[in-house]
Amino acid sequence: MSDESYTPPEVWTWDQESGGRFASINRPISGATHDKDLPVGKHPHQLYSLATPNGQKVTIMFEELLAAGHGDAEYDAWLINIGDGDQFGSGFVEANPNSKIPAMVDHSGDKPQRVFESGNILFYLAEKFDAFLPKGHAERTEAMNWLFWLQGSAPYLGGGFGHFYAYAPTKMEYPINRFAMEVKRQLDVLDKQLADNEFLAGSEYSIADMATVPWYGRMVTEGAYEEAKTFLAAHEYTNVVRWAETIFARPAVQRGRMVNAAFGDPAKQLRERHDASDFETKTQDKLEG
């Protein structure tokens, strides 16, 4: 049914077949679909995730903390395969009642502390380790401005533009045009901010950059959602390209993007991460070779 002929019913009912590529993992209710405990490794921080842009935010943060000498930031990263519905297991729902990756449980205190929502995990770790968040009030506020900007903006890129441009059952002009306009506006916001600033909050690399680069940085340098990089003329946002290339060149960022990856180049897939040495010995190409 095309968008021109659709008339909403008086009361909406769920039709799973109309959901597009990811219909099997979307539903209008919350809660667990099956019993499954979450594994717990040897480190204080237990991360349950997948290397989507939201998942990469947190693994980048962990790897940056470790690279900066915060040994207490060691972590176990367990793969949550959202295509298989792992996020609806009872243990994961207990860690995040919203059933979205990433979720983290910190076992370093008197009792386990769950932390969910990717931006909140970044903020939690930044506060815990006093790292990657400026100490000055004005500078800290600016970093938080951009962290919250990203948390509010990324759904337009992924769930809005990406869904209708690449994943919806049919191509519909109105939603594609609507979300393309918004994504280009957001890229322009970023480009203007980065024209006079090395990083989003100024001269200091922060959790705002870690949150934003897996989304908008990937779009302008590597592309996302099939041919969307060309469609959006992403190369025109030269300041965003410069910023993204700078961050993606960081070794900790390169490691972070590998963790919990279950697609792409097998040499860049570290589906589970339990030790720093895993990057050398347990990438998927080595496990399959």
Got the DSSP string for 36-104?
A: -PPP--SSSEEEEE-SSHHHHHHHHHHHHHHHTT-GGG-EEEEE--GGGTGGGBHHHHHH-TT--S-EE
Asked whether 272 and 49 are in contact (CB, 8 A), the reply is no
For residue 204 the two structure tokens come to 């200091």
Distance of CA 14 to the CA centre of its chain: 27
Which residue's structure tokens are 């679909």? 33
Edge-to-edge strands, sheet with 45-49: 75-79, 45-49, 103-106, 113-116
CB atoms within 10 A of CB 39: 11
- Identify the helix (H) or strand (E) that includes residue 121: helix 118-129
CA 70 – CA 218 distance, rounded (Å): 27
What's 137-255's CATH class? mainly alpha
Tokens of 105: 């449980």
What is the total residue count of the chain? 289
Residue 199 has φ and ψ, to the nearest 5°, of: -130, 175
State the pTM of this model: 0.96
Long-range contacts of 228-233 (CB under 8 A, 24+ apart): 228/161, 228/162, 228/165, 228/166, 231/165, 231/180, 232/180, 232/183, 232/184, 232/187, 233/184
CATH number given to 31-132+259-289: 3.40.30.10
Residue by residue, pLDDT tens for the chain (289 residues) are 445 688 999 999 988 766 667 777 888 999 999 999 999 999 999 999 999 999 999 999 999 999 999 999 999 999 999 999 999 999 999 999 999 999 999 999 999 999 999 999 999 999 999 999 999 999 999 999 999 999 999 999 999 999 999 999 999 999 999 999 999 999 999 999 999 999 999 999 999 999 999 999 999 999 999 999 999 999 999 999 999 999 999 999 999 999 999 999 999 999 999 999 999 999 999 999 8
Where do the domains of the chain lie? 31-132+259-289, 137-255
Q: Which strand (E) or helix (H) includes residue 241?
A: helix 238-248
